[in-house]
């Protein structure tokens, strides 16, 4: 079936098998003019890359063992040694005049384009980029940044500590991929960083003879197309994946560029390929790869449009009223660990009695149970200030892994409308899925990917099994002298936050800046009130005031500054310290509550002690924390103090949470594979 996106149609972004890449080598020899038009639209790749399915049985067992072996290989020493050699080569270019060096760039751009990943050519090319950076923006890459760039060009995930200069590092692999002539996507975690990084690094790319642009949410299709046709394109992974799916919809029943060209020759009319925004998936450099490839891959990406046969608004309110008449643990049960609500047999019978005088869909047992289950899920599993906020009479989803708002997203299968009915805001029309893809499948479509992050080691096995990315740890440029203080465990939530405020008040007397991390908007506001009661001046950074993120984080290192932040806590923005602050002991980071993954905690702690700066970090926790209740065994939740220490219990809960999230990510990818096999959305053309 051919799908057409109407002008102004509201598209919902949030998993359909991916569209395979188009191999123009297999293109029939049509007129040269049409072939040239095709080349402008889609860059030729070395064959189509089809996302491999997850392994099963003994193959999966063997692959999990391989993942452990792959990451044992001592890549760090080799990379650092080669990075040092690259620095030596780069230093030799300083004696060249501007004209001579520009000639050298053009020479190696052509050499690298034709090379087959030759080590010597690659090292010289990286040395050229380093010298180009020094001449254009006055910054020459450090040894560890070069080692990180080498790891990315060799299709690895590099773990490089927070504050080591990933923005500059990304220019090295991006330039090399740009020289190949097929385009490269540099993935960032939000639009602000995409625009900022592309503009800040523009002089480097232009000095190397490349064009660069960024793609943001507000851009029109024509501007997006122009940005994707640049050699280097900065964008969020959501934007790139969404544009990929929109192009898939534009193709409709024409599943490849070859067919599109033949159709144009046959009819003499311009085909849908002329409306495509992207030119293919050739290479990706992924910043904050743990967040993009792991944390945000739990939820698939979906493009949907208005459902012409959508249910009436009253039905959502009726489902809400029915849900309120049911009794927990009698009519329904809540599984907090899996965020599920299940009707009991008694509950289904109770619903049948409650709806016996209601007509329409309420006489269908399956529909009745589904709608009320969604209403119960909205009531018990989705809370204002945690999963969403209300802005201008609209439900706006909050990304739980970053704390950022996602105004262009909605929950599917009627859940979004169930939350709207719960909050008594305007109910939007129900949506129907037009196209979907999991981020796992999407990134596996790229022939060449690499990434970097401050915290990737914990996810190293998954990175190999899902994306075939070995993980390598890159040392810091200067020794890290951050002090990690012992965790403080309290009996309950109230005592925990009192302890946090006491700590802040004590440290604040010394003049040291303090950054406090929380899991949710609701908690950040609660802590803000407690700080106000103690007369402690502070700034709050959460999904509600995310527009001020960069400014708040940039100022968080000033003397006496106290900043409360959700998980977004300044990823991509440096907290710079003045000399007087360094003398006081640097930034003090307080983790108010543990996150579901230790990587996020470690990312927060990494805000202190950057680039050899002094700093300290401490974590606070409470026995009745939702993390332990949801993911710790029931006996631990009940008799926590008798069986193990508080810290160990939280470690176990985090491990269980991470295992559960991993199972969800595998389930999303398996669903893609099932759809590809049974619905044939991802067939390849040979």
pLDDT at position 168: 96
Tokens of 56: 């099963």
pLDDT at position 236: 92
Q: Using one digit for the tens of pLDDT, what is the confidence trace for 464-484?
A: 888 999 999 999 999 999 999
CATH of domain 311-428: 3.90.1440.10
Span 92-113, mean pLDDT? 93
pLDDT at position 183: 94
Span 411-424, mean pLDDT? 85
Q: Which is higher by pLDDT, 685 or 78?
A: 78
Look up the CATH superfamily of 483-622.
P-loop containing nucleotide triphosphate hydrolases (3.40.50.300)
Helical residues (DSSP H) of 297-364, grouped into ranges: 313-324, 345-354
Asked if 75 and 470 count as a contact pair (C-beta separation under 8 A), the reply is yes
Q: Using one digit for the tens of pLDDT, what is the confidence trace for 129-143?
A: 999 999 999 999 999
User: Hey, how many other C-beta atoms are within 10 angstroms of the C-beta on 357?
Assistant: 7
Pairing mode of beta strands 431-437, 301-306:
antiparallel
Asked if 142 and 165 count as a contact pair (C-beta separation under 8 A), the reply is yes
pLDDT at position 152: 96
pLDDT at position 232: 97
Q: Using one digit for the tens of pLDDT, what is the confidence trace for 29-54?
A: 333 333 333 333 333 333 334 445 66
- Residue ranges of E strands in 441-545: 448-453, 471-474, 483-484, 488-490, 514-517, 539-541
pLDDT at position 610: 87
pLDDT for residue 3 is more than 50: no
Q: Using one digit for the tens of pLDDT, what is the confidence trace for 218-272?
A: 888 999 999 999 999 999 998 999 999 888 888 765 455 566 666 666 666 555 5
Q: Which is higher by pLDDT, 157 or 366?
A: 157
pLDDT at position 645: 65
What φ, ψ does residue 111 adopt, rounded to 5°?
-60, -45
pLDDT for residue 509 is more than 70: yes
| Closest to 433 (Cα-Cα) out of 245, 605, 622, 645 | 245
Identify the top-confidence range among 11-25, 228-242, 408-422, 671-685. Answer: 228-242
Q: What percent of the chain has pLDDT over 70?
A: 80
pLDDT for residue 546 is more than 70: no
What residues contact residue 579 under an 8 Å CB cut-off, 6+ apart?
none
3-state SS, 167-225, equals: HHHCHHHHHHHHHCCCCEEEEECCHHHHHHHHHHCHHHHHHCCCCEEEECCCCCHHHHH
What residues contact residue 277 under an 8 Å CB cut-off, 6+ apart?
221, 224, 225, 228, 243, 246, 247
DSSP 49: -
Residue 303 burial by CB count (10 A; 0-12/13-18/19+): exposed, middle or buried?
buried
Q: What percent of the chain has pLDDT over 90?
A: 37
Span 617-631, mean pLDDT? 88
pLDDT at position 306: 65
Q: How far is CA 205 from CA 70, 103, 131, 453, in A?
A: 33, 15, 12, 22
CATH 3.90.1440.10 positions along the chain are: 311-428
Q: Using one digit for the tens of pLDDT, what is the confidence trace for 557-602?
A: 899 999 998 875 556 667 888 889 999 999 999 999 998 888 888 8
pLDDT at position 45: 31
Tokens of 407: 């105004």
Span 165-169, mean pLDDT? 94
Q: Which is higher by pLDDT, 115 or 195?
A: 195
Round to whole Å and give the CA distance between 461 and 538: 40
Q: Which is higher by pLDDT, 65 or 242?
A: 242
pLDDT at position 274: 64
Q: Which is higher by pLDDT, 491 or 309?
A: 491
pLDDT for residue 409 is more than 90: no
Helical residues (DSSP H) of 42-95, grouped into ranges: 57-70, 75-92
Q: Which is higher by pLDDT, 305 or 82?
A: 82
Span 398-424, mean pLDDT? 78
Collapse the DSSP code of 615 into the 3-class scheme (helix H, G, I; strand E, B; otherwise coil) and give the result: strand
Round to whole Å and give the CA distance between 277 and 271: 14
pLDDT at position 512: 95
Q: How many CA atoms lie within 13 A of 605 on its CB side?
A: 22
What residues contact residue 403 under an 8 Å CB cut-off, 6+ apart?
520, 521, 542, 543, 546, 565, 566, 567, 568, 569
Angle between helices 119-137 and 143-153 (to 10 degrees): 130
- Residue range 24-303+440-474 forms a domain whose CATH class is alpha beta
CATH 3.40.50.300 positions along the chain are: 24-303+440-474, 483-622
pLDDT at position 225: 93
pLDDT at position 401: 62
DSSP 320: H
Angle between helices 415-423 and 365-381 (to 10 degrees): 60
| Closest to 315 (Cα-Cα) out of 409, 430, 395, 412 | 430
Task: Provide Rg for the chain, Cα atoms.
Answer: 27
pLDDT for residue 457 is more than 70: yes
Round to whole Å and give the CA distance between 507 and 504: 5
Round to whole Å and give the CA distance between 334 and 377: 9
pLDDT for residue 491 is more than 80: yes
């Amino acid at each position: 079936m051919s799908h057409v996106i109407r002008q102004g149609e509201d598209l919902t972004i949030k998993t359909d098998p991916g569209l395979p890449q188009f191999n123009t080598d297999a293109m029939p020899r049509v007129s040269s003019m049409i072939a040239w038009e095709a080349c402008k639209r889609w860059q030729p790749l070395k064959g189509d890359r089809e996302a491999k399915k997850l392994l099963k049985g003994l193959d999966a067992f063997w692959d999990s063992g391989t993942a452990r072996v792959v990451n044992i290989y001592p890549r760090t020493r080799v990379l650092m040694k080669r990075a040092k050699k690259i620095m030596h080569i780069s230093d030799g270019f300083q004696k060249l005049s501007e004209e001579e060096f520009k000639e050298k760039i053009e020479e190696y751009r052509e050499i690298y384009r034709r090379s087959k990943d030759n080590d010597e050519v690659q090292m010289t090319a990286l040395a050229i980029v380093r010298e180009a950076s020094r001449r254009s923006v006055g910054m020459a890459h450090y040894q560890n940044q070069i080692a990180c760039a080498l790891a990315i060009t060799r299709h690895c995930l590099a773990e490089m500590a927070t504050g080591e200069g990933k923005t500059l590092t990304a220019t090295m692999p991006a330039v090399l991929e740009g020289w190949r002539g097929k385009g490269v996507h540099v993935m960032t975690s939000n639009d602000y960083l995409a625009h900022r990084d592309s503009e800040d690094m523009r002089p480097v790319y232009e000095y190397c003879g490349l064009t660069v642009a960024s793609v943001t949410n507000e851009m029109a299709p024509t501007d997006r197309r122009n940005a994707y046709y640049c050699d280097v394109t900065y964008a969020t992974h959501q934007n790139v994946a969404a544009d990929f799916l929109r192009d898939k919809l534009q193709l409709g029943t024409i599943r490849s560029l070859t067919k599109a060209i033949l159709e144009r020759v046959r009819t003499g009319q311009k085909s849908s390929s002329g409306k495509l925004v992207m030119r293919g998936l050739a290479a990706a450099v992924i910043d904050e790869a743990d967040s993009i490839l792991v944390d945000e891959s739990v939820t698939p990406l979906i493009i949907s449009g208005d459902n012409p046969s959508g249910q009436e608004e009253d039905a959502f309110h009726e489902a809400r009223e029915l849900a309120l008449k049911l009794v927990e643990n009698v009519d329904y049960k809540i599984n907090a660990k899996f965020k599920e609500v299940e009707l009991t047999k008694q509950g289904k019978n109770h619903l049948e009695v409650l709806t016996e005088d209601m007509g329409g869909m309420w006489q269908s047992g399956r529909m009745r149970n589904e709608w009320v289950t969604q209403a119960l899920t909205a009531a018990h599993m989705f809370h204002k200030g945690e999963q969403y906020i209300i802005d201008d009479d609209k439900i706006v989803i909050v990304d739980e892994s970053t704390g950022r708002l996602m105004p262009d997203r909605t929950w599917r299968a009627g859940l979004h409308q169930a939350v709207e009915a719960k909050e008594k805001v305007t109910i939007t029309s129900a949506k129907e899925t037009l196209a979907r893809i999991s981020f796992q499948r999407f990134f596996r479509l790229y022939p060449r990917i690499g990434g970097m992050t401050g915290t990737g080691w914990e996810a190293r096995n998954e990175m190999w099994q899902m994306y075939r990315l070995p993980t390598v740890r890159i040392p810091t440029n200067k020794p890290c002298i951050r002090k990690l203080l012992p965790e403080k465990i309290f009996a309950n939530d109230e005592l925990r936050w009192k302890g946090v405020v006491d700590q802040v008040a004590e440290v604040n007397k010394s003049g040291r800046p303090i950054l406090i991390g929380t899991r949710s908007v609701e908690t950040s506001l609660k802590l803000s009130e407690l700080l106000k009661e103690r007369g402690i001046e502070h700034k709050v950074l959460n999904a509600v005031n995310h527009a001020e993120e960069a400014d708040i984080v940039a100022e968080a290192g000033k003397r006496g500054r106290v900043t409360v932040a959700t998980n977004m806590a300044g990823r991509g923005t440096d907290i710079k310290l003045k000399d007087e602050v360094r003398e006081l002991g640097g930034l003090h980071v307080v983790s108010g509550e543990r996150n579901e993954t230790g990587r996020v905690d470690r990312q927060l702690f990494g805000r202190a002690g950057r680039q050899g700066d002094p700093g300290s970090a401490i974590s606070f926790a409470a026995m009745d924390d939702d993390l332990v209740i949801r993911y710790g065994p029931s006996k631990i939740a009940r008799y926590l103090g008798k069986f193990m220490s508080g810290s160990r219990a939280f470690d176990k809960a985090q491990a269980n949470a991470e295992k559960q999230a991993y199972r969800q990510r595998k389930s999303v990818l398996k669903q893609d594979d099932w759809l590809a096999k049974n619905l044939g959305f991802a067939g390849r053309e040979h």
